[in-house]
Structure 1
């Protein structure tokens, strides 16, 4: 998958989401980011006004923060849109 273009990655993700979930559904996003208040704030802002439940957990040494977000999504395209928005935040790793 390393050589896969973002378009191909999201095409495969959309297909998997369509096959494995009934829509609308609660979707769990998981991200890892360096512990930086601005980056964490950016992620929060992407999910503002969505009813998302956001949980933060710092790594043992506090260098990284795990961000878990549970939110009701209406379809696979909405899920992918949020991944793309979060992907613009520098240094975020999507799990």
Structure 2
């Protein structure tokens, strides 16, 4: 069931990205993750060698880290592919 919902979500996202942006374009990702260095490194690695600008900021109590990534991508399919890669990391919330 969850797989079907994510397919619908990505299909809608692709339609919105196609309608609202001209490609290639900069895209801003925002993720929330427990402040676990390994998980944060894993997110960084997904965007390695892409010229991405990555900013990390810990929550007030330090339990969570928000990771904002701005990267230039060719098309909506690339945006969705990166969401799926990051989504494979356990405990990451995509905003």
TM-score between both structures, scaled by the size of structure 1:
0.95
- Between the two proteins, the alignment pairs up a number of residues equal to 93
More helix by share: 2
CA deviation digits over 1:21-46, x for unaligned, max 9?
A: 01000100000000000000000000
What are structure 2's unaligned runs of at least 5 residues? none
CA deviation digits over 1:21-74, x for unaligned, max 9?
A: 010001000000000000000000000111100000000000000000000010
What corresponds to 2:92 in structure 1?
Answer: 92
SS in 1 for 2:28: strand
Equivalents in 2 of 1:57, 1:6: separation in Å?
27
Matched, 1:11 2:11: yes
Q: How much does 1:6 deviate?
A: 1.1
Matched, 1:24 2:35: no
Equivalence map 1:31-42=2 (5 Å): 31-42=31-42
What are structure 1's unaligned runs of at least 5 residues? none
